[in-house]
Every structure is written in C-alpha cells, then in structure tokens.
C-alpha cells in the first residue's frame, strides 16, 4: 500500500501533534510505502504550507492508494484532494480538532470539511463522542490509540541531565507537558500538595500560558521548597526525570471547550516503569487501562488524589510492582508498531472501496 501522509506539524518543532505525527509516520514507513509532505517550520509557516501541500498533493495523490492527514487543520486540503484526485482521504483527529469553541470553525471545519473525509481516525473514544454530538457520522469514525516508543535504556539516560533534590525518604511526583488549564497542574499544586506529607515533592516540567499562575500559587501557599517548576526540558532531561522520580501524576480537570484527546505522556511514563496516577477523564481513560498500566481517580477530587498517593508512598514495594506491571503491559500492547497495524487496516479498508 502506498500512503501519502501530509502533516502540518512535524519535528524539529516541539509539540504533542508533532511528536505523534512523526512517530506515526515512522511506524507506517516500516510497513508500507509512505511519502511525506510535512511542515517543519511551525505555525508561522502554515499560510504557505497549506496551499503548497495542496499543489504537491495534486501531483502525488494520484500515485498513492490513500491520503492520510495528520490533523483536522488540513481538512480543506484533504477535501480538495478527494474531490480532484478521487483518492480516499483519512484524517487523524485529536480532541481539540473537534471541540475548539469557534463558531466559524465548528460550521466550516467540523460540520463541513471533516464530514467529507472517508475516515476519521480519532485518538480517543471521547473525541468520537464529541464528533458524533456535533453531527459527524459515527460509522466514519474509528478509535485508534496513540502509541509509545520503546523507552531509553538505563545506559542511554543521562542521570546528570537534571537534578532531583531531597533525602532518601522523599517521595517525588512528576508531571510533564504543556502548562494549560486542563492539565490541572495549578489545581494539584494548590489543592493537593498542601495536604500531602512534607516529604512529598512535586516536579513540573513544561511551559505554557499557566506557568505564571502556577508560580504565583506556589509562592502564595509557601510551597517553593516542595513544588519545583522546571520549565521546558530537553528529551535527555525528560528521560532522566522519568528515571529518578517515584510516581507520575496527570491531574487533568474538566475545562469547557477543551479536552484531553488521549494523553500520550502517561503512556511514556508507564513505559518507563513509573506507577501512574491520572484523572478518570476524557482521553486519559483510553491511555490508561485501569489496574494494568495505571490508576485512575476522580477528576478534581482532592481526597481521592491524596489517599491514592499516600497509599503508594507508604508501600514502596507495591508502587514498584505497579510500575513494573504498567511497563510490561504498555510495551506489550501500546507500541507504535502495533498502532501502525491498526492504521493500515483502516486505510486498506477505505482504499479498497
């Protein structure tokens, strides 16, 4: 099968969609003939990339069996390619692709352009529910989870890339990712951390619009010695953090007009052998299989988070077991190699029609 994969968000630019599109393209390329049209220059280049990708696509799509779009921003390109080349088009859809609260976007993109795709490949079941509630045909939607790459080995991790401070009895929590409201980091730092024992430290790696608010809350609650805002970290530093902390937390909260499509970072943490505690919310419920590669707790429930974390801190052997179990499950069921097979099955189905 020959696949024309178009991505408007691709490394070296750093971001969730960039990483997902790159890993997906690499995994598909191991199993099929994949030709790429990608934007490696970020959002500022989009006004040039969108028409350019359409022009290139008009030449390349006729030689492909199917066109795959990396996200819904490319829906205008996909709709025109389907119309002009008669090639089937599938589109990966992430949570915000469906829920972005903009009247023009909802009318033109969601109800208009996305409805013209042969297949919508949603990264989460909640994304499908949101799509159907907005009038998209459920029979065109399929859930395919994100995958995870094989984690770095101990010899590949630079343990000096970052610094985790604290005594031997310190219990270290970690959250990685963009600091936006739905991630719940400010809520967790201000509401949960004050109720946890003094020897519990919280490390936050990432940047974003909520960083200033987070740092203000940490200062107001006099938590500077226990909540550590690291800012953006490199891939080496991320791997070092995952190897040095005790527990990964993903305390997402519900935010109107926004949602977690999947939650790739919790898979990465589980693959690294960390026990994971996350909110039972939106796409996190697809990333975490309860009791197999993490623990889900009620979103926004302070007492539930406190009780779960304290129980794991009090029983290091159980926490280690959960981490090992989660790593084994994730590496058995959630690698990109396996996810690529799911994509190829769906792409093969629409190309055969």
What are the 10-residue block averages of pLDDT along the chain, 353 residues in total?
A: 97 89 97 98 96 98 98 97 98 93 93 96 94 95 92 57 69 94 95 96 94 93 93 89 95 89 90 96 91 94 98 95 95 93 97 83
Question: For residues 333 and 312, what is the distance between their CA atoms, to the nearest angstrom?
Answer: 25
Pick the CATH number of 154-333 from 3.40.640.10, 3.40.50.2000, 3.40.50.970, 3.40.50.300: 3.40.50.2000
Sheet holding 66-69, edge to edge: 33-38, 2-7, 66-69, 89-93, 119-122, 141-143
What is the maximal distance between C-alpha atoms in the chain?
64
* Nearest CA among 256, 193, 261, 179 for reference residue 227: 193
DSSP-derived 3-state class of residue 9: coil
Q: What pLDDT, on a 0 to 100 scale, did the predictor assign at position 161? A: 54
Question: For residues 270 and 329, what is the distance between their CA atoms, to the nearest angstrom?
Answer: 9
- Asked if 2-147+335-351 and 154-333 have one fold, the answer is yes
Question: Could you count the other beta carbons within 10 Å of the beta carbon of residue 102?
Answer: 11
Question: For residues 46 and 105, what is the distance between their CA atoms, to the nearest angstrom?
Answer: 16
Q: What pLDDT, on a 0 to 100 scale, did the predictor assign at position 257? A: 80
DSSP of 105-141: HIIIIIIIIGGG-SEEEESSHHHHHHHHHTT--GGGE
How far separated are the first and last CA of the chain, in Å rounded? Answer: 14
pTM: 0.86
Domain ranges of the chain: 2-147+335-351, 154-333
CATH class of 2-147+335-351: alpha beta
């Amino acid at each position: 099968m020959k696949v024309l994969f178009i991505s408007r968000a691709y490394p070296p630019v750093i971001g969730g969609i960039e990483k997902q599109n790159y890993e997906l393209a690499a995994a598909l390329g191991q199993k099929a003939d994949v030709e790429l049209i990608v934007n490696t220059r970020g959002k500022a280049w989009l006004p040039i990339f969108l028409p350019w990708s359409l022009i290139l696509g008009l030449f390349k799509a006729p030689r492909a069996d199917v066109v795959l779009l990396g996200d819904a921003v490319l829906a205008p390109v996909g709709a025109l390619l389907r119309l002009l080349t008669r090639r089937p088009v599938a589109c990966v859809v992430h949570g915000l692709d469906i829920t972005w609260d903009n009247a023009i976007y909802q009318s033109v993109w969601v109800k208009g352009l996305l409805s013209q795709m042969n297949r919508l490949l949603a990264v989460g079941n909640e994304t499908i529910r949101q799509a159907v509630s907005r009038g998209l045909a459920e029979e065109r939607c399929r859930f395919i989870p994100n995958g995870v790459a094989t984690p770095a080995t101990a010899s590949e991790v630079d343990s000096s890339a970052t610094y985790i401070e604290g005594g031997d009895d310190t219990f270290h929590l970690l959250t990685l990712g963009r600091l936006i409201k739905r991630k719940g980091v400010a809520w967790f730092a201000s509401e949960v951390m004050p109720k946890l024992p003094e020897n519990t430290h919280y490390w936050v790696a990432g940047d974003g619009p909520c960083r200033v608010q987070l740092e203000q809350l940490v200062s107001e609650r006099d938590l500077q010695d226990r909540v550590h805002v690291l800012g953006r970290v490199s891939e080496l530093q991320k791997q070092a953090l995952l190897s040095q902390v005790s527990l990964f937390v993903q305390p997402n909260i519900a935010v109107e007009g926004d949602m977690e499509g999947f939650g790739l970072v919790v898979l990465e943490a589980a693959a690294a052998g960390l026990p994971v505690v996350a909110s039972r919310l939106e796409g996190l419920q697809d990333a975490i299989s309860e009791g197999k590669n993490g623990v889900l707790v009620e979103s926004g429930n302070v007492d539930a988070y406190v009780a779960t974390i304290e129980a794991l801190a009090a029983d290091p052997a159980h926490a280690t077991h959960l981490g090992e179990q989660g790593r084994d499950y994730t590496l058995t069921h959630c690698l990109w190699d396996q996810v690529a097979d799911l994509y190829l099955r769906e792409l093969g189905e629409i190309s055969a029609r």
